[in-house]
Amino acid sequence: HVTLLRQARSALARGEQLSWPDWARLSKVACAKKDGQALVDALEAVCEAASRHPEHPRLRADCERFIRTLFTCAAESLDAFQAYKSERGLLDFIDQETLALDVLRDPAMSERLGERISRVFVDEFQDSSPLQIAIFTAMADLVEASTWVGDPKQAIYGFRNADSALTMAAFKGVAATSTTPQEVLSTSYRSRQGIIDLVNAAFGPAFGAMGLPPEEHAFSKTDRNEAGFTSSPFAVWWLEGNVELQFQALAAGVRDAISQGTDWPVSLKPSGVRPLMAGDVAILCRSNADVLTIAGALSGLGVKVAVEREGLAQTPHVELVMAAFRWTADPTDRLALAELARFFDDDPDSDLWLKAAGAEDQDAALQAAVPISGALTRLREKVLALTPADLVDAIISLPEVTRRHETWGDYGVRLDDLEALRGFARNYEASCASAGTPATLSGLVQALASDEPKRPKSLQSDAVKVMTYHGAKGLEWPMVILTGLSREPKARLFEPVAEGEG
């Protein structure tokens, strides 16, 4: 802090303006009381002065200029994008919706449409964009009856630019012209009564602040049978220490809950209960970093984990397939051939692949060390008749490749990853087709390197699921563990932030 103060003082002495981040840093300078009351008082005075920087008219002018410039840039980008589409005769989904609204506003066209449609059903209405609401409203005027189903509370996710205030306004507008009363589906079929009570108490005030009357949007009851349940519907695990220690303790708690499954009964259909199992548990995290940390802690305790993982292209089984793919596409790619020799070396300490790479006739020596070199050479002869995805399939299906993957263990997990690679290759071809560009072997290699696709979630039913809150939307499990609830929200200048009191 002394260094920061000296730098700031020197800058001011030179007549320079301090940056806004520097003012923010100066608002946090402090020292220990043992350093003397005079210094403590001086630093508090600096903090008090620096803490007023958000009120400064120049900061507000800078922010306004930044925002206006950003919106101007966005408007110019949209104009350029529209011109690009017009020049090429292209339409996107927003264009289709705009054209649909034009049709509905044309009296002649809307009259013909009204003759063909008698009923309109809108599901998940809360995810409607302003443009879609305009379409639904116009269609409602054409038909005999219109039924809209949605949950305004879910509009807070902002999916497709949805807005809870707009959703409620549209609901009220339609209801005002309707002879049928609105029906609120307020019975929960998922959660036990204790969870329902907690949610009603926790979210009621927030809904009220959003203009959603709690009495209209709270759960009224639950349709869950409590027979066989001896434990509370929810519990709190207090975690202490730094984040890493907390996650380790959390992992131990999950392991113990699974091992003592009878303490956490799970409903059976149509009746009865059974002990908790690993596949019944989901852990929700605030960030992907937390997901990886908790997954690592669980794995360290021997608990199976299902989590979406980074780096599909960096797994050895996918690297083997893609090395074979690259050498088939380009016989001069000696690096790909050397990689294959390393993957097929049964004794990693022998360095046979390295010796082959250093041989006088490198190509011959490396091919001799790769048992699938002959099969890949035969595939190369047919490569003009194969699409990139076809070649991936052909390589994965080679018996020697399958046997090599089996010897590495976790074959089911490796098959999931290889299936994801096959899907990526098919999607690459589909994207090329939609863009009117050729799908090439080198193009697939480049797409895999640039897109960095994730590995799929584990399909094992006996694994604990670990994911972000966002990734869990719409899913359900018998036991859900919520992490990160004690963290304070961090305000960011250009993002909205929720503030909690008490």
What is the rounded distance in angstroms from the CA atom of residue 276 to the CA atom of residue 254?
Answer: 11
Q: Which residue has the higher pLDDT, 152 or 265?
A: 265
Does the pLDDT value for residue 502 go beyond 60? no
Q: Where residue 435 falls among pLDDT bands split at 50, 70, 90?
A: confident
- Indicate the residue type of 317: H
Look at residue 149 in the predicted model and tell me its pLDDT. Answer: 87
CB atoms within 10 A of CB 464: 29
Quote the radius of gyration of the chain (alpha carbons, Å). 31
CA distances from 389 to 220, 396, 421, 438, 490 (A): 53, 11, 9, 13, 45
Does residue 54 have a cis peptide bond before it, meaning omega lies within 30 degrees of 0?
no
What is the rounded distance in angstroms from the CA atom of residue 346 to the CA atom of residue 159?
Answer: 51
Q: Which of 471, 476, 479, 480 is nearest to 188 (CA)?
A: 476
Dihedral-angle region of residue 498 (phi above 0 means left; psi in -120 to 50 means alpha; beta otherwise): beta
Query: What is the DSSP-derived secondary structure letter of residue 231?
Result: S
Of the listed ranges 221-235, 395-409, 431-445, the one predicted with least confidence = 221-235
Report the percentage of the chain scoring pLDDT > 70. Answer: 93
Report the percentage of the chain scoring pLDDT > 90. Answer: 43
Look at residue 314 in the predicted model and tell me its pLDDT. Answer: 83
For residue 146, what are the β-bridge partners? 120
Give, in degrees to the nearest 5, the angle at Cα 274 between 272 and 278. 145
What is the rounded distance in angstroms from the CA atom of residue 194 to the CA atom of residue 235?
Answer: 10
Q: Give the pLDDT mean for 368-388.
A: 90
What is the rounded distance in angstroms from the CA atom of residue 298 to the CA atom of residue 283?
Answer: 11
Does the pLDDT value for residue 205 go beyond 80? yes
Q: Give the global pTM.
A: 0.59
Contact 421, 401 (CB under 8 A): no
Q: Give the pLDDT mean for 71-80.
A: 96
What is the rounded distance in angstroms from the CA atom of residue 483 to the CA atom of residue 502?
Answer: 19
What is the rounded distance in angstroms from the CA atom of residue 436 to the CA atom of residue 449?
Answer: 21
Q: Which residue has the higher pLDDT, 280 or 178?
A: 280
Q: Give the pLDDT mean for 388-394.
A: 94
End-to-end CA distance of the chain: 32
391 contacts: CB under 8 Å, gap ≥ 6: 325, 328, 329, 379, 383, 441
Look at residue 493 in the predicted model and tell me its pLDDT. Answer: 64
pLDDT digits (tens, 9 = 90+) for 14-33: 999 999 999 999 998 888 77
Specify the residue for token string 């690679």. Answer: 421
Q: What is the mean pLDDT of the chain?
A: 86
- Indicate the residue type of 122: V
373 contacts: CB under 8 Å, gap ≥ 6: 337, 340, 366, 367
Specify the residue for token string 């399939």. Answer: 393
What is the rounded distance in angstroms from the CA atom of residue 380 to the CA atom of residue 330?
Answer: 9
What is the rounded distance in angstroms from the CA atom of residue 494 to the CA atom of residue 164?
Answer: 20
pLDDT digits (tens, 9 = 90+) for 470-501: 888 878 899 999 998 887 767 666 666 566 56
Dihedral-angle region of residue 409 (phi above 0 means left; psi in -120 to 50 means alpha; beta otherwise): left
